[in-house]
Amino acid sequence: MFNSLSDRLTSTFKNLKGKGRLTDADIDATAREIRRALLDADVAVPVVREFIGQVKERALGSEVSQALNPGQQVVKIVNDELVQILGGDTRRISLAKNPPTVIMLVGLQGAGKTTLAGKLSKHLKDQGHTPLLVAADLQRPNAVKQLQVNGERAGVPVFAPHPGVSSEFEAATGDPVQVARDGVAEARNRQYDVVIVDTAGRLGVDAELMEQAANIRTAVQPDEVLFVIDAMIGQDAVATAQAFNDGVGFTGVVLTKLDGDARGGAALSVRSVTGKPVMFASTGEALTDFEVFHPDRMASRILDMGDVMSLIEQAERSWDKAEAQKMAQKFVDQEDFTLDDFLNQMQQLKKMGSMKKLLMMMPGAQGMRQQLEQFDDRQIDRIEAIIRSMTPHERVAPKIINGSRRARIAKGSGVHVSEVNGLLERFGQAQKMMKKMAAGGGGMPGMPGMPGMGAGAARKGKGKKGKAQKPRSGNPAKAAAEMKALEERRQRSAQQATGAAFGRDGQLGQDGFSAEDLNLPKGFEKFLRD
C-alpha cells in the first residue's frame, strides 16, 4: 500500500546520510521532497501543510543542530510526526461494563463492511469473547447470505430474521432498525458478550443512508461505531469521512484493502481531519488478514524500518510451542537437521500467513521489494510435495538419494528433477550451517557456541592447529585438574561416537562391518535396533 511513499521518503533521507551539519537549504529541500511524496500519495492538502510545518519547525531548532548525526535526527522527527498524524497511541475497543458490547459498522457500499464483520468477529472470538453477528443490511443483494457464510467460516452465529434481497431488481423489504434492535435483545437473552451490527451502504453519500444509519444508532445505542473505509478511495476519503462523522458520528476507523496497490493517503488523512483514531486494518481476503492498527508500527513500515513487533506477535499466535521446544532440544543435542525437521518448519511458517507479507515486515525490505514481489508462495507447496514424495529413510539420510531416486521423487511430486536437485543442494547448505551454529564453530560471524557445546567441544579436544590441548594454568594442582577434565570430555566424545552402530557399542555386525561406515546421521540408530 505505502510502497511508493516509502520509496520516495527513503530516497530523500539517503541524501542526508554522512552530513555532519545540515544547512537551512538542506532542510528546505528535504521538506519539499517530503511534501511532494505525501501529495503524490493522496494525502489531503491541509494534512500535508500541517505535517510539513511541524517537521520544519523541529528540524530548524536545536534538536537537529546539536545532534551528532543530524540526518538520523531528521528521520526520527519525521517518524515521530507520522506517529502523531496516524493517531499516536493504539486504540482498543471499549467494552461495555454491562454486556453485550454493541459494535455498529457504517460506511459506503463496497468498502468491505460485511467481510470485515466476519474478520472482527473471529478476532474477538480468538480473544475469548462470544460475539453475535446481526444482518441489518437488507438492501444489498445477498448481503445477508454473505454474512452468514462469513459467520460460518469464523465459527460465529448470525442473527438474520430477514433474508434481504437476492437481486438488484428486487425491492427492499423489512425494517433494518427493528432487525438491529431484535439482534441486541437476542444477544442479551442468550448471553453473548459482543454484538456486531452490519448495516447497509450506498455507492455515494445520501440523506436516506444517513437517516437509516442514524436511526439504527439511536435504536441500539452502540458502544462503538466503526467507520469502514476503502484505503484505495484516494482524496475523496476526507469528504466521505467528514460526511459520516457529521451525519452518524463514529468512534473509530477501520481501513480495508491495505494489501492493494493504491497510494494509501486515506490512512494519513482521516485521522487528522476527523480526530477519530484508526483502530483496525484489513490486509487481505482471508478472515485472518486482520490486525490491530498500531500508529508507531505503521510509521516504521512507511519509513522502511520494518515491523518486527507485529512479526513476533504473529509468530507467537501461530507457532507450535511444543514443536519449537523439540527443535531447540535437537539443536542443543547436536542431532542432525533432517528433511522432516525442514518440513515441520515450513508448515509452521505457512500458519503465519503469506511469506511475502512476513518478509515485507523486516527492516530494509523495501530495498529488495522487486525480488519479494517475484516470490511465489506456491513454491512452499512444491517443496512440501517434494519432501512428502520421499521415503522416511530418504528424509533422514538424504545422502542416499541417487539419480533414480531423484527421478522417482520428481515424478511423485509433479516437478522437474532440477527442482529436487535444487532443494537437496539448499538443504545441504542449511544442514551444514545448523551444525556449525550448534557446535559454535563459526557458522555465523560472532555466533557463540550453544550452552554446554563450546567451540572446543566441536573440535574434539584439538587446539587451533590440530594439536592436543594443554592445561593453561601454571599451578601443578590446577593443571592436573584441567587435564583430568579434558580426558573425561574426550572419553565422553568417544562413547557418543561409537554408540550408533549395528550390533551395539560400535561392534561389527554379522556381515563384518560397522554402521559408522555408512555415515548415518546422529540419532538414526533407533531405526536399526531389533
**Percentage of the chain modeled with pLDDT above 70:** 67
Domain final position from 85, 110, 134: 85
Beta bridge partners of 196: 103, 133
Tell me, yes or no, whether 62 and 163 share the same domain. no
pLDDT at 122 over 50: yes
**CATH number of domain containing 46:** 1.20.120.140
Closest C-alpha among 102, 159, 153, 95 to residue 127: 95
16 marked as part of a ligand binding site: no
Residue 355's pLDDT band (boundaries 50, 70, 90)? low
201 marked as part of a ligand binding site: yes
Instruction: With respect to residue 462, please indicate whether it lies within any of the assigned structural domains.
Output: no
259 marked as part of a ligand binding site: yes
90 marked as part of a ligand binding site: no
For the ranges 20-24, 175-179, 359-363, the lowest mean pLDDT is seen at: 359-363
User: Which residue, chain included where needed, has cell 548415518?
Assistant: 520
113 marked as part of a ligand binding site: yes
> Regarding beta strands 224-230 and 252-256, do their DSSP bridges make them parallel or antiparallel, or are they unpaired?
parallel
111 marked as part of a ligand binding site: yes
- Contacts with 318 (C-beta within 8 Å, 6 or more apart), sequence order: 348, 351, 352, 353
Tell me, yes or no, whether 72 and 105 share the same domain. no
Tell me, yes or no, whether 80 and 110 share the same domain. no
**CATH number of domain containing 349:** 1.10.260.30
- Within 10 A of 411 (CB to CB), how many other CB atoms are there? 12
Exposure on the CB side of residue 77, measured as CA atoms within 13 A = 27
31 marked as part of a ligand binding site: no
pLDDT at 273 over 60: yes
Residue 426's pLDDT band (boundaries 50, 70, 90)? confident
> Regarding beta strands 224-230 and 131-135, do their DSSP bridges make them parallel or antiparallel, or are they unpaired?
unpaired
Tell me, yes or no, whether 257 and 164 share the same domain. yes
pLDDT digits (tens, 9 = 90+) for 190-203: 999 999 999 988 77
Instruction: With respect to residue 359, please indicate whether it lies within any of the assigned structural domains.
Output: yes
19 marked as part of a ligand binding site: no
Mean predicted lDDT score pLDDT of the chain:
75
256 marked as part of a ligand binding site: yes
Tell me, yes or no, whether 110 and 242 share the same domain. yes
Q: What is the mean pLDDT of residues 315-339?
A: 67
**Percentage of the chain modeled with pLDDT above 90:** 17
**CATH number of domain containing 147:** 3.40.50.300
- The confidence score (pLDDT) of residue 509 equals 44
pLDDT at 445 over 70: no
- The confidence score (pLDDT) of residue 72 equals 76
Q: What is the mean pLDDT of residues 167-175?
A: 74
Instruction: With respect to residue 39, please indicate whether it lies within any of the assigned structural domains.
Output: yes
- The confidence score (pLDDT) of residue 312 equals 64
- The confidence score (pLDDT) of residue 476 equals 64
CA atoms of 198 and 362, how far apart (whole Å) = 35
Q: For residue 338, what is its C-alpha cell?
A: 533432517
Overall domain count for the chain:
4
CA atoms of 319 and 349, how far apart (whole Å) = 8
- The confidence score (pLDDT) of residue 183 equals 93
Instruction: With respect to residue 245, please indicate whether it lies within any of the assigned structural domains.
Output: yes
Q: For residue 281, what is its C-alpha cell?
A: 486494518
Domain final position from 53, 85, 117: 85
Tell me, yes or no, whether 122 and 254 share the same domain. yes
pLDDT at 511 over 50: no
109 marked as part of a ligand binding site: yes
pLDDT at 499 over 50: no
- The confidence score (pLDDT) of residue 65 equals 60
Residue 443's pLDDT band (boundaries 50, 70, 90)? very low
42 marked as part of a ligand binding site: no
pLDDT at 210 over 80: yes
223 marked as part of a ligand binding site: no
- The confidence score (pLDDT) of residue 224 equals 92
Q: For residue 192, what is its C-alpha cell?
A: 453473548
- The confidence score (pLDDT) of residue 76 equals 83
Instruction: With respect to residue 455, please indicate whether it lies within any of the assigned structural domains.
Output: no
Domain final position from 395, 416, 439: 439
Structural domain that includes position 64:
3-85
Residue 251 per-residue DSSP state: S
**DSSP strand E in 86-217: where?**
101-106, 131-135, 158-159, 194-198
Residue 405's pLDDT band (boundaries 50, 70, 90)? very high
Tell me, yes or no, whether 55 and 148 share the same domain. no
119 marked as part of a ligand binding site: no
Instruction: With respect to residue 491, please indicate whether it lies within any of the assigned structural domains.
Output: yes
338 marked as part of a ligand binding site: no
More reliable by pLDDT, 219 or 484:
219
Tell me, yes or no, whether 144 and 196 share the same domain. yes
Tell me, yes or no, whether 170 and 271 share the same domain. yes
Instruction: With respect to residue 80, please indicate whether it lies within any of the assigned structural domains.
Output: yes
200 marked as part of a ligand binding site: yes
For the ranges 72-81, 104-113, 399-408, 503-512, the lowest mean pLDDT is seen at: 503-512
pTM, whole model, 2 decimals? Answer: 0.61
pLDDT at 293 over 90: no
Q: What is the mean pLDDT of residues 511-526?
A: 51
Q: For residue 496, what is its C-alpha cell?
A: 557418543
150 close to 118: Cβ distance less than 8 angstroms = yes
Tell me, yes or no, whether 502 and 369 share the same domain. no
Tell me, yes or no, whether 63 and 111 share the same domain. no
pLDDT digits (tens, 9 = 90+) for 220-233: 999 999 999 887 77
Tell me, yes or no, whether 254 and 354 share the same domain. no
pLDDT at 504 over 70: no
Instruction: With respect to residue 308, please indicate whether it lies within any of the assigned structural domains.
Output: no
